[in-house]
Amino acid sequence: LLGVYKLHVCPFASSVLWEPMGDGKRVISLADNHALLWDLQESSTQAMVSSTATLEGKGQLKFISGKWSPHHNCSQLTTANDTTIRGWDLRTMR
């Protein structure tokens, strides 16, 4: 999938992760304590947010990295912050 898409993310995005398998029409951005799942539309240069999740806890938690799993139909994401490694189910964003 070639193209230029506008992802309106926080200027402090720590990662942008392309879907590792499939048609490549999904992207995850990690910015501060937010994970956003984007749906890339073929007919547009605008991307639409399809799901979001927020990292919650004590203090100023921020994502520092993430990895999209190519297994289980690309429905799992692993993220890390300063104190925790966490797995996410992208179907429910939990």
Tens of pLDDT along 63-88? Answer: 999 999 988 888 999 999 888 899 99
Q: Which helix (DSSP H) or strand (DSSP E) does residue 30 occupy?
A: strand 26-31
Look at residue 6 in the predicted model and tell me its pLDDT. Answer: 53
| Paired sense of beta strands 65-68 and 47-54, if any | unpaired
Asked if residues 66 and 35 have their Cβ atoms less than 8 Å apart, the reply is yes
What CA–CA distance (Å, rounded) separates 17 from 7? 12
pLDDT (average), residues 37-60: 83
